[in-house]
Every structure is written in structure tokens, then in C-alpha cells.
Structure 1
């Protein structure tokens, strides 16, 4: 894929989509036109075996710390903290100060650091982006908000739960701002965050390299987009989620990203399957997916604007660009999520302040989500979706581009051609790797490219003691010097959230999930041969030793990370989510 040449210090642009499914973009099999991401993929590298945590803030803590979220402060989401973990190291509910944050390290090494979008790693000034190394920022501190900044319910003291008190969660640089006065009237999250990054780039000190972090809140619910963009997808999803899943899997195979004979995980449905819906219910469900597609479309359009700026300023090819999703697609039934206060509060808020009639879906004053069936379609062939510890919750799309070190092109002709052709997907000519990778690897990869040493945990960092990172630099593999990102067969990677747990070593993954998601026991899968996790090897005598070894590895992972277990609390969370798992 190339070798690192002598050049000026690279810039970095990290782009994170919120709850984007594996096949929701063109380079990973989508029907949604994404010419900017096509360009990145065609001139860069697609990581088809890239893994995150199963929910948003834990992933973001791993991205910016290079270590496990149970160490970095988000052992559990702050909104969902188990009672017996509160005040425990690793469960502070914010990016803690035991870790050296990536922007802190780069700032200390002469980089100008900037951010726009979703933070979700602390809601106080002391835990905000400005306190963790970002010189410039325009951010929403918590987990979700209305994409048009339409929040009338926040003025009602009886309805303080929806959007997690978004009224007090905005910051510009080191100052809190008032969403009712300081947010522009034409605000739309994806467009506004992208423009904020562009403005930060325009005013930067050009004598310094930059690290820019663009963290979209889309396509996270509520599903909202301008009607002009939604109209592009009218009728595209009338055949339902199972038909979409079939198309996506077929395209993934055509692109060579999955085996043509891969066993696809079963569908997951909400209260009513597509075949049992009335015509009106199908039309409404399809409309929600049309809005979701529009949100993905707008992500790509705005990434294109950022790329245009980098190209116009001569920085495009000297910028390491990474695009990723923070977890699997969101399939939970929103009204059942305890994080949002339960069905009664959500329903009363929506009934009072929002209009979810068919023609209004997608507007600022609508509040909808698309449910588990569409999420399953976008995560196929994997099993499950966000919050699941199966591959559907943690295997995400990832693209990297940096021509001086790897990739197959150093110009943007492919991007311009795609724009001229109206966004039609060009033939996928870029490189892809199936090597296992994790979000923790981004930290050391960026530092390696910047020629900045990883902070030494033996020495104080900014006057405090820090922990070692757990990630591995991707550069040796991207430069064709190693066959895998993680060449050691002894290395282990663990996951745990919402009382679901998993441990992986080599091709094998053991997982434990409470019923109805799982079997209330350890399951075992060869995820290289069986990414849908359909063939449980746990009771196969030939694999008994593999399972025993992985269970021992799990105990080691718990010891290394300080993980706090609370099975009673976890079972309650699972029961309240209430998803119907089809085919099991």
C-alpha cells in the first residue's frame, strides 16, 4: 500500500458518524449516493473488520484515549450507570484524567486542535473539550439533540428527560452558550458542524499542522432532514427492510467485502413484522427510512465541503483522514429505553410538542426513529445492532486515506468525477483489508504518523499519572510490513456493556448475553468464518479447549480493566429494551 515518505508534518481529520450502520454508505454496499466517501475509499483503505464499543460514549472514550473504556472513565454510559459502579475508577461518566487525551498529546507537540459536534465525554467545563486539549470547539456535550435545535419541551419542567437536558449542553470554545440565543436560526446539525470545522480551519495558524475532530450527531434519532433531500428517496424503501438487507448483502459480496456464501444473521423485528403491517404502517416505516437515507446523504455532502476546503488550501493529500461510525445501527425501541425515562414520559412529550403525521415526518417538529428491522438490514450479515455485543453492535465501517503513506492515488479526480456524475457510485478501486482492528488503535496510529511518542505511563503527563494505552498502530500493516494489524496470536480484545460480555482471540470470540438476546451461558463463534454468529461451537467437543481458554482470557480482561459486573441491573436493562429477535 506504500511507504511513509519524507514530508511536512501531517494534518489529521477524524470524522465520526453517530449510529451509522455497516452498509449505510456506498463503499460498504449502500444504495445511498456517497461520492465524498467513495472518493476516500477509492483513494484510501477500507477497514472491513473494524470494531468499536457497542454504544457511543464508550467508543468515543476509546478513540481519544487509546485504551479500554472501562479504564478511560466510560465503563458504562453516564446516563446508564449501574448503582454499584458509581464513584469507581473507570466509571466516572466522563473521559477521566488517568488517560492522556489525544488532542492533549498533539497540542503539546505543536498541533492546532479543533472540534465540532458531539462530545459525550463530560458535561462540565472541567470535562469539556477545551479542558482536554481542544483549542477551538463548537460542541454539544451530551448524547443527542434535535437536529434543527427545535426543543420546546425543554422549557417545560415536567419534561426534562428528552434529549437529556439539552438546554444546558452547548459550548463554544471554553464558554457555555445558550441554545435559544447563540445557535443560528438556520441550524441543521450536520451542515452546521461541518461549517464550524471549515471556519476553524480557515482561521487556523497555518504555520502549525492541525488535528480536527468532526463528530456528527447524525444519523442518530430523531430522524430529521430537509424535505428537499428526503424527497430524493421517495419510494426507495417500499419493499421493506428484508428486501433492503438482501440488496445490501448482495452488494457487499459484489464488492468483495464479504463471502458470497456467508450465512446472514436472522432479522430482528419490533412489535410488528413488515409482512403483518397494514399498508399505512408500511408507508410510515418506509418514510422513516427515507429520512434516514437523507441524513446519510447530508453527511456525505458536508464531508465533501470539508474535502473541497482542504483541496483548495493544498492540504488534502497531506491530511490523514479517517471516517468511522461509533457503533452499530440503532435498533432499540426508543420509548422503551430507560435512558430516556420510559414510555410514559416520551409519549407525553411527543404528543404535546411534536407532529408525527406522515407528511410531517423528518421536519423539526417531528420525532421518530426507525426501529430494529431497518437496523438489522444495515448491519447484515452481522447479528444484532447497537448495544449488542455481537458483531452487529461493534463491527463498523471505517475508511482511512493518507496518500504519502498508503492508498492508490494522490489526487481528487475520482471525487470530482463522482460529483459530475450526480453522485453515482464509481467502481470501487481502493484497497481494503479484512484484518481485525479496534478504535483504540487510532490513537497510536495518529501519533506514529505525527512522529510523536506515545506518552510514557512511568512519567507524569501534564502533572498527573496516566495509564498505558492498549491500541496498536496500523502503520506496519498499511505499509505492507505485517500481515495483520494485530500480529500476535496471544492478544485479546474484550467488550462489555449492559451486562453483555465478549472476548476475542484470533478468529474465535466467546460471548455471554442474557436471554432473550442470548442463551444465559457462554457462546463460541469463529467470527472469521461465521460473521453472523449463527453456529455456536460452545458445546462442540472439538472446541472445548478454545472456550476454556477464552473464558480464562475473559477473567484476565476483567482484572486488567477493573470492570464492574452487575448482572441484576443488566438484566433489568435488557428486559426494558424489549426487542423481538426473529428466527431464534
Structure 2
């Protein structure tokens, strides 16, 4: 069954990154439509239709922080015509679930197993030590990736975009690389390895090496990864046309910062002036018209802390509308890139025989707070940005200077019709759209499926339809059970029972259990014992939006579900429970690289991600930089961060400067400096939570000091450079100087720390927070 070009909006285009050769493109076009008989089986085990004899490619497309209603095919007013075309020619699943945050979702997706069982109980930035082995972000070899399994079955595996399933402390240019994409079965990789990415100046890696941002006009990260994906497919189709490929494409969109060219924002000018209450109602009604929610579904009430739109003043409405215009334009731009990829697959003759699964990794985020933010670091650190500053500079939202996130009112719109947000185990955090497109393997199209599905089921389904039996051993390592369940029976049978009757959820103490049409969700008060939690009970078969708590009516059902949660949690290693989340950035096991007492970094070192850089939060430390300075020498000695937050040491116009920017205030210490050999030293004495006194020395002589308020959780969303400042400048004093490379000589940069009081070893303990089995 073929999808005709006139049935969808995909357009021809010429890439500006890959610059494919005429010869390669011609060969691909000639060979692309004549592919058959490769490894992979193409449909063995599929319940709905007979298997195809041709190869079957597999593609996972992952949006980041997009809510249940954000796609046009799931009720949105946002133009996502290319994704909607995939849905119209495929299937929409309206009962699909993920983890509440991204790393656990991606770990489940790529292994086919529950996230705690593979050590990803939380995001990969946190390592809670041996006391919580499920939250060390170290996916074991026993949990083989889909790429490793498919690689043994003749597949070539491509990874693009956001990764975020390696302990972020290991994301240094020195590795270790065994948990990077190429260490887990990918043959080619290009993208960002950390949690979020700037769209204009991302921290890029190609395979195992840092990569520069391409020097092209109007660069955008989403365009870049798609054009690299197109290059990979072209190379493959040109030279190995009979072999199948697997592609993992993880967009940075819709995660903050929301950044997109102005023309896409202008597409939605005035669209959101009516406000989030009206838009949410309109989406809700549209969802009913589309059949993605039942007619008797209910709309969740406005969340606590979100003001009624009509109660906002004119300036608030104007600013908040601009945030949402940017978010919508960002998604439309992403959709356009997906359209380019679909068009290229069709040109290569690879569209109909490619099983495409498109998801979002978790619900929409409320981290922008009640008023949104233009500073990603401040939002992450729960610091409110000045409203007047944002209002006066709202034209920067969406651009390089506007690292923005929309207000929580719009996040609730994204999660229509559900309650709550990313980070919770309520429906708003874990219930997302799933679109499946496979013309050669699925006869049904444009239909909605309501079978309960979980992110771990996608890889199980891939193995099923390809007729692949996951190996008991791989690389001489016994493999864990695949806990995902294939839902291929639902492809052409809307009433099919897939066998998926139970699924637990847990994140930072939030708990949910699904069993046989029922859902129970815990309500936890921070600082209390988990045994005191109340639980809500929902009948999913009659309460689509999960709003009507019937725990009082069915106490036996609820108690049974709670017991099932504990059984599943024990079985998957989800215990002990802990409330730890952002504070996990500072709780370091003794074997964590960042727990070291000293670091010596040398000039010429590659850019180092912030999460792998020396940790300066709430501790006493010294930074020493011996330099040789001639008259007229200047440039950056050391920089971590970007214009939104961070610190930098630099020489300019005969003066030495140290700056620390917490987003709200910039602290500067400056002094004249003589030519010759100089030892620069900065001493920071921690005087309380998120504060201290910094003193700058030249050749052991104090030249100035400042009382500094530091950020509590994460200094910046850009890493560290020695002898230059790549990507964005930390200081506006040298923002017109490029990377402002130091023209003198730097011997080294030495960090010396006092031992952290909160280094953990055997057990995880956080004062005032109960941890229990």
C-alpha cells in the first residue's frame, strides 16, 4: 500500500548542511526503489497483516516536552501538517505512556525494559550512589540496546540529536565512551549528549568527538540533525541498498530554550491573545471532533497557581502570548524538518518500508513558572526573572538572547485535557501521543487506537514485527528480560488485546500503577513518610481524563493496586524511594569524577560540558592560573557558561577581570596586571547556602573581593573552555571578539577543593527527607 505524494504536504528541498554530491544523490535515486530481501524479516510475528518480503527499516522520532494536545492530529491549532500526514497514513494511540522525565523514557525506549531495572530511575545528571543503584544512570550491558540487537541482525544504526542516557559526568572529551552512542550499538551519531540544547549554538558531538557548530547562515540545530540524517540515509541507500537501517532522531524541540527564527513566530502573531483558558477549551473540543478523546471526556480544571487569563493585566497578556507564539513556531519549524525527512525517505524509495514511531518523551514542562522566563538557567534554578526586564526585551524571545520557556498556563494547554505536568506521574506528565506509520505492514490508516501502551513496548513491538528473538546472551553477557509487550496485534485490529495489563511508574517519590483498566496515583506531601501518602483511584475505561477519584467507592481495588505497585517496584528495582531531584546535582558519590578534590586542566583541551566540569556549588575552592603575559596580550583564561549565567577570567586593555553572573546580577572583580609571569588565583569561601566571598589574587596579593550569590543547582547550560570562550560569551565585555582566545601563554588551570560535606557513599541520605523501602 503506497502513500501518494498528493496525500501529504511533504515538499522538495535542498539541504544547506550536507551538500550532497550529484553523483551520490543520483545513485541513491536509482537504487533506492529496488531494495528487497535483506535481513530483518519485515513482518514476521505481526498479527495484523502478512509480513513483507522486503527489508523493513525502523525509525524512532522523539519530541521533547511536547504535551498530549500539541500536535494538530491530537487537537492543536499549531500547524504540524507533516506529522499530521504521518498520522493520517498511520495510527494514533491515545493511551500511550512514558516516564515523567526524559532520561528514563529514553532508556526504556532503547532497551525495551522498565527504566529502574536498567539503572535510570532519574535523569542522567544525577548519581545517587550505591544506596540507590536504580538511579546511577549506568545502563548495564545486561540491558542490550535495540541497536545492539538489530546490529546483530544486519541493521546499520544511526543516532541523531538528544541523547541524555549516559551519566553526564562521563560526557567529557576524554570519555569513558562505553556508554556513549557508539558504545551501545550505534554506527554513526551526531547531536548533543546532554539534557538540553541551545538551538543556535549547541554543544555538538560527532561519534566520539566534539564537533564545531557548522559555519552556515541562519544555523538551527533541528535543521542540522535532520540534514545529517538525510546524509546518513543517502549514503546508506547509495551503497548498501539491500540492508535495513535503524534511525533514532531526538529533537531538542520542544524543550527549553524555545528558539526559532522570527518568521515562524510571526506565523502565530495574535493567535494566543485570547489566552490559555480559551485555547485549552478549543483544543478540548477539537480533540473530541478528531476522536482522540471520547465525547464524555472531561477537561481538567485550571491548575493551582495559574491565573485566569482575564485576570492578567495587559502587559502580562502581551508577554505571555509572545512566549506561546514562539513555542508554536518552534513546533511548526520542527514539523517542517520532519517533512523534509519524510520527503527524502520517499525519494530514496524507503518510506513505505520504514516502520516509524513518533512520540514525545514526557508531558509539557511547568518549569517556566507562573510568568515564563527568558533565562534557562534561572528557570532551572527556580529563580524568578524580573518581569519588567522580560517585557522590555520580549522581542528577543525565540532568538539567541532569549533562552525562553513559556508560563505554566501554556504548559497546561499542551497537556489538554489532563492534570499536572512533566515530572509527575499524573496523566499530564506521562500520557502522550504515539503515532505509528508503516504502509507495507499496516493496512489500517488514520485510525485511533486506545490500547494501553508504554514506551518500553515500542522496542518489543519492533522485535515482534521483524521476527527477531532477543538473544539470551550478547557480547558474552546474559541479557535481562524484555519487559515491554508488543502491541502489533492492534495495528489492524482496533479491539485487539495486546497482553499489556500492568505498568508501574515512579519518579522522585511520585508513584502510579496501571492495572487492567484502573489507575492509582499517589499524592505525596514533601518531607513526609511515603507510607502516609494518600492515593487516588481512577477507572480509565470510563474516565478518560483521570479526574474522578473513586478511591472511597472501591477501597479494595485501591489497596490491591497499591500492593501491585510494590510488587512491580520491587521486581524492577524502584526501591528505595526518595524525593531527591534537583538537589541530586550536588549529592555526589565518592566514585563520581566531580567529587575529586583537585583538577588540572591544560590549554588546548576540548570544550568540556558543564556536567563534567569541576563542581563549584556551595563549597570552598581555589582556582589557580599561572600565565605569561606580554604587553598587549589579552583574551579569556577560563570560562564556564554563557551570557545567561556562568563565570569567566579574562584580560582586556591591560586589566584582569573575574566575573560571575547568576542571571539576575553580575559580580565583577578587576585589577591592573603587569606584563611578565603572573599567577592568577581566585579563592571562594562559602558563607552559607548559595553565597560566599570571592577574592582575586595576582602573585599572592589580593586585588579585590566580592560577596557573591551563587545559583543553587546548576551554574549554566554551556560548558567550560580554557584559553577561550566558545559558543556564547560569558561576559558582554568581549561578545564582539569571537571566542576571544588568549594571546599570551597559560601554563594550566588548577582547581583545588575542600572535601564536600555532601559526598555520599554507601547510602543516600538527605536531611529532612525520608527514604524507605
Q: Is 2:58–2:355's contact at 8 Å kept on the other side of the alignment?
A: yes
- Indicate the residue corresponding to 2:144 in structure 1: 100
Q: Distance in 2 between matches of 1:405 and 1:500?
A: 38
- Indicate the residue corresponding to 1:47 in structure 2: 93
Aligned equivalent of 2:450, options 418, 434, 438: 434
Query: Relative to 1, partners in 2 of residues 1:309 and 1:355: Cα closer, same or farther, differing over 3 Å?
Result: farther
Query: Relative to 1, partners in 2 of residues 1:142 and 1:276: Cα closer, same or farther, differing over 3 Å?
Result: same
Cα RMSD, aligned residues only: 3.0
Distance apart, 1:51 and its partner CA: 0.5
Normalized per residue, the structure richer in strand is: 2
Higher RCO, Cα 8 Å, sep 6+: 1
Aligned equivalent of 2:184, options 112, 122, 132: 132
Alignment of 1:111 onto 2:146: no
Distance apart, 1:521 and its partner CA: 0.9
SS in 2 for 1:176: strand
Q: Distance in 2 between matches of 1:244 and 1:44?
A: 27
- Indicate the residue corresponding to 2:208 in structure 1: 174
Larger radius of gyration: 2
Aligned equivalent of 1:359, options 382, 395, 409: 395
- Indicate the residue corresponding to 2:522 in structure 1: 512
Query: Relative to 1, partners in 2 of residues 1:99 and 1:356: Cα closer, same or farther, differing over 3 Å?
Result: farther
Distance apart, 1:482 and its partner CA: 6.3
Query: Relative to 1, partners in 2 of residues 1:326 and 1:481: Cα closer, same or farther, differing over 3 Å?
Result: closer
- Indicate the residue corresponding to 2:576 in structure 1: 565
Alignment of 1:500 onto 2:510: yes
SS in 2 for 1:445: helix
Q: Distance in 2 between matches of 1:305 and 1:299?
A: 10
Q: How does 1:230-249 map to 2 (within 5 A)?
A: 230-249=265-284
Q: Is 2:159–2:190's contact at 8 Å kept on the other side of the alignment?
A: yes
The one-character-per-residue Cα deviations of 1:430-460 (angstroms, maximum 9, x if unpaired) are 111111111111111112222221222xxx2
The one-character-per-residue Cα deviations of 1:160-209 (angstroms, maximum 9, x if unpaired) are xxxxxx5xxx3212323355xx6756431211111111111111132311
Alignment of 1:16 onto 2:50: no
Give the length in aligned residue pairs: 522
Distance apart, 1:372 and its partner CA: 1.6
Q: Distance in 1 between matches of 2:307 and 2:325?
A: 19
Q: Distance in 2 between matches of 1:184 and 1:49?
A: 41
Alignment of 1:467 onto 2:519: no
Distance apart, 1:262 and its partner CA: 1.6
Aligned equivalent of 1:64, options 106, 110, 117: 110
SS in 1 for 2:478: coil
Q: Distance in 2 between matches of 1:343 and 1:372?
A: 12
- Indicate the residue corresponding to 2:689 in structure 1: none
Q: Distance in 2 between matches of 1:343 and 1:482?
A: 44
Query: Relative to 1, partners in 2 of residues 1:253 and 1:96: Cα closer, same or farther, differing over 3 Å?
Result: same
Query: Relative to 1, partners in 2 of residues 1:329 and 1:58: Cα closer, same or farther, differing over 3 Å?
Result: same
Q: Distance in 1 between matches of 2:279 and 2:368?
A: 20
Query: Relative to 1, partners in 2 of residues 1:494 and 1:133: Cα closer, same or farther, differing over 3 Å?
Result: same
Distance apart, 1:100 and its partner CA: 0.6
Q: How does 1:210-221 map to 2 (within 5 A)?
A: 210-221=245-256
Distance apart, 1:527 and its partner CA: 2.3
SS in 1 for 2:190: strand
Q: Distance in 1 between matches of 2:442 and 2:294?
A: 25
SS in 1 for 2:323: helix
Q: Distance in 1 between matches of 2:268 and 2:342?
A: 25
SS in 1 for 2:267: helix
Q: Distance in 2 between matches of 1:111 and 1:336?
A: 44
TM-score by length of 2: 0.63
Query: Relative to 1, partners in 2 of residues 1:527 and 1:552: Cα closer, same or farther, differing over 3 Å?
Result: same
Query: Relative to 1, partners in 2 of residues 1:136 and 1:216: Cα closer, same or farther, differing over 3 Å?
Result: same
Q: Is 2:368–2:407's contact at 8 Å kept on the other side of the alignment?
A: yes
Ranges in structure 1 where 5+ consecutive residues have no aligned partner: 151-165, 410-429, 578-584
Q: Distance in 2 between matches of 1:499 and 1:126?
A: 30
Q: Distance in 1 between matches of 2:377 and 2:225?
A: 28
